[in-house]
């Protein structure tokens, strides 16, 4: 893994461990479990890099770390319940990062398959649709947890609609960012810097031969 990305992971891991310890001291089982999951998710890019699947750029690693930290901090401080904008910030940040990851997958499909060619402007539409799909799945999870376990993840119908709208905005922002990047830089160079040969081979085997990527 690149040194800067690893440094970011270690710094935010230390912060998450601190929040985890605090939650355990307070007897907050839900918060502690969430922070533990966030800590594990934070190390996924490092594990993928160690296995030579993909080297995530440090801005994406930073975005992942920031999204997980903001979510955990919101639970520890109860800012989700006391600060209206906090929930929107976490949804916006996580949505943009998820949109960036979706964009990488779409670029792999576009550049590494014979049968798929995605017009640049379509990235806005495709990323937004995929983010909204994931948001819908998450809202279903929240609804299920609230009714099965008695949690309070969905505060109201207004809160749910605001979350959906925030994620729609994040999808559009991520999509426009990708369009802007592709208008000024080479997608081939970006994908090459990811060092994702194993992942590229996976796409090639399942979707077609490597003919468009040079």
Vertex 130, ends 124 and 134: CA angle to 5°? 140
User: What per-residue confidence (pLDDT) applies to 98?
Assistant: 92
- State the pTM of this model: 0.84
Of residues 138, 125, 134, 140, the one with CA closest to residue 176? 125
What's the Cα-to-Cα distance from 33 to each of 38, 65, 77, rounded to whole Å? Answer: 9, 17, 16
Vertex 73, ends 67 and 75: CA angle to 5°? 110
Asked if pLDDT for residue 132 goes beyond 70, the answer is yes
Asked if pLDDT for residue 68 goes beyond 90, the answer is yes
Of residues 10, 95, 108, the one with CA closest to residue 2? 10
Average pLDDT over residues 172-179: 92
Which of residues 9 and 118 earns the better pLDDT score?
A: 9
Average pLDDT over residues 114-123: 81
Asked if pLDDT for residue 109 goes beyond 70, the answer is yes
Per-residue pLDDT reduced to its tens digit, 34-51: 999 999 999 999 998 988
Highest mean pLDDT among 3-17, 100-114, 173-187, 188-202: 3-17
User: What per-residue confidence (pLDDT) applies to 46?
Assistant: 93
Over its C-alpha atoms, the chain yields an Rg (Å, rounded) of: 19
User: What per-residue confidence (pLDDT) applies to 112?
Assistant: 67
Per-residue pLDDT reduced to its tens digit, 16-35: 999 999 999 999 998 999 99
User: What per-residue confidence (pLDDT) applies to 209?
Assistant: 54
Please answer whether residues 88 and 179 qualify as being in contact, where contact means their C-beta atoms are separated by less than 8 angstroms: no
Average pLDDT over residues 110-121: 76
User: What per-residue confidence (pLDDT) applies to 214?
Assistant: 43
User: What per-residue confidence (pLDDT) applies to 138?
Assistant: 85
């Amino acid at each position: 893994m690149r040194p800067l990305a690893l440094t970011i992971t270690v710094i935010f891991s230390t912060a998450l461990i601190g929040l985890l310890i605090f939650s355990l001291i307070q007897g907050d089982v839900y918060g502690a479990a969430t922070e533990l999951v966030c800590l594990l998710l934070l190390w996924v890019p490092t594990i993928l890099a160690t296995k030579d699947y993909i080297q995530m750029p440090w801005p994406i690693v930073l975005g992942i770390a920031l999204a997980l930290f903001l979510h955990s901090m919101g639970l520890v401080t109860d800012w989700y319940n006391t600060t209206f904008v906090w929930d929107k910030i976490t949804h916006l940040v996580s949505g943009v990062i998820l949109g960036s990851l979706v964009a990488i997958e779409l670029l792999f499909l576009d550049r590494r398959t014979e049968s798929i060619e995605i017009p640049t402007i379509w990235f806005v539409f495709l990323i937004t649709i995929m983010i909204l799909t994931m948001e819908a799945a998450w809202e279903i999870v929240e609804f299920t947890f609230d009714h099965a376990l008695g949690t309070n993840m969905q505060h109201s119908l207004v809160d749910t609609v605001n979350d959906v709208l925030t994620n729609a905005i994040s999808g559009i922002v991520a999509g426009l960012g990708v369009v802007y990047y592709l208008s000024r830089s080479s997608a081939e160079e970006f994908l090459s810097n990811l060092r994702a040969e194993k992942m590229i081979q996976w796409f090639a085997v399942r979707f077609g031969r490597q003919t468009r990527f040079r």
